[in-house]
Structure 1
Amino acid sequence: MESIEAADGPAKAVDHRSLAVSVIDISSDIRRKSHNDTGVRPLSNGVLEILRVIENHPGITVADVASRLGRQLSNVSVQLRELVAAGLVTRTRDAADKRYVALHPTAESQRIKALLEGAWAEALSSASSRLLPEERDQIAASLPALQRLASILGEPE
C-alpha cells in the first residue's frame, strides 16, 4: 500500500492492488450484465477500447491510438478495419499530406456509445441500490478523483 502526503498531513493509504482488481471486476460485470438489453452486436474489449479512444479524440491517427493503448500499430490496424467495416469509424486522408489519416466516430458509433453508457449506468444503479446510503455517498464523493485518475491513465505512454 502507498500513501500520499497531502499539504494538510498524511493522506489515507490506498490499497492500489485492491482498487485495480475492483475496477476490473466492476468493468467486466457491467459489460456482461448490461450488453444483452441494448441490441448492440457485442464488441471485443480490444475493439471497444479503440472505439472509445477515437470517440474521445476525434481526428486521432492510427499511430496515436496504438500509442495511447500501448499496442502494436499492426494489431490496431487490423481491429480498426473491423470498426470501419461495421460503419463505426471513418478514415479521412489529409488533403495536404496523403499519408496522414484521421479517424472519426460515425453517428452510429455515437448512438451505440449512448446506448452502452446508458446500460452501464443502469447496471451500476441497480447494483448500488443494494449499498448502504453512506456507501453510495462515498462513491459519489470519489467520482471526481476517479475521473481525474482515468484521465491520467488515458494519457499517451
Structure 2
Amino acid sequence: MAQLYDGSMDTEKRPENAHATEYVQLAAAIVDISDHIRRASHQRTGYGPLPNGMLDILRAIEAHPGITVADLATRLDRQFSNVSTQLKDLVARGLVTRNRDASDRRYVSLTATAEAQRIKALFEGSWAGEIAAAAAHLTPAESEHLRRSAGILDRLSAQLTSR
C-alpha cells in the first residue's frame, strides 16, 4: 500500500520540503490509477471478483516460484493466517498449487498454475489497455514522457518493495 507523506517520517527519510507536495500528488495519482485500472480490469476481462489481496499473492508467487507461505506473508507484510486463508481460495480456484517437499513434509512451496498465468496476462493486458486509452487523450509529448517513465517507476517500485 502506498504510504503518503504526512510529515511524521524521520528527518533523513523525509522528502525535501520543496518536493513534498509533488510526492503527495504523485502518490495520490498512483493510488488513483491503480484503483481505477484494477476495477476496470474486472469489467474488461469478465474475470472476477478477484480481490486485490489475492491478485497481489498471485503476482508474488509468480515472481518467486517455490516461495513458502511464511515467506509470502513476510514479503507482502501480512499476517500468516490471512495469507493462508486467501491461498486456500486460490488453490480451490485452481490458480495455485501447494508442493510438499518429499524429504520434509512440513515444507510447502507455492507455484502459480498455467491458469493463474493466463489470468495474470489477461489482467495485465487490461491494465495496459486502460492506460493506453487514457494516454490517447494526452499530448504526444506527454504520452511519450509517460512511456519513458515506466523504467523509473519500476525502479521506484523495487526500492519500495525491498525495504
The TM-score, its normalising length taken from structure 2, stands at 0.84
Deviation readout 1:54-74 (Å, 9 max, x if unpaired)? 111111010111001111101
**Counterpart position of 2:6:** none
Specify which of 121, 129, 133 is matched with residue 126 of structure 1: 133
Write the distance in 2 (CA, Å) between the matches of 1:46 and 1:100.
23
TM superposition shift of 1:113: 0.7
Of the three residues 80, 93, 103, the one matched with 1:96 is: 103
Q: Which residue is 2:155 aligned to?
A: 148
Aligned-residue offset at 1:99: 1.4
Deviation at 1:36, TM superposition (A): 1.3
Aligned ranges for residues 73-84 of structure 1 at < 5 Å?
A: 73-84=80-91
Counterpart secondary structure, 2:156: helix
Is 1:64 matched with 2:71?
A: yes
- Corresponding position of 2:15: 2
Deviations 1:89-128 (A, max 9, x none): 0000111221111000001001101111111111110010
3-state DSSP of counterpart to 2:67? coil
Out of 54, 61, 67, which is 1:47 matched to?
54
Paired with 2:45 and 2:144, the residues of 1 have a C-alpha distance of 29
Percent identity of equivalent pairs: 53
- CA deviations on 1:132-155 (whole Å, 9 max, x unpaired) are 112112212221110111122223
SS state at 2:60 partner: helix
Aligned CA-pair RMSD: 1.7
Q: Pick one of 93, 111, 114 that aligns with 1:107.
A: 114
Q: What secondary structure sits across from 2:57 in the alignment?
A: helix
**Structure 2: which 5+ runs fail to align?**
1-13
In the TM superposition, residue 86 of structure 1 has moved relative to its aligned partner by 0.4
Higher relative contact order (CA 8 A, sep 6+): 1
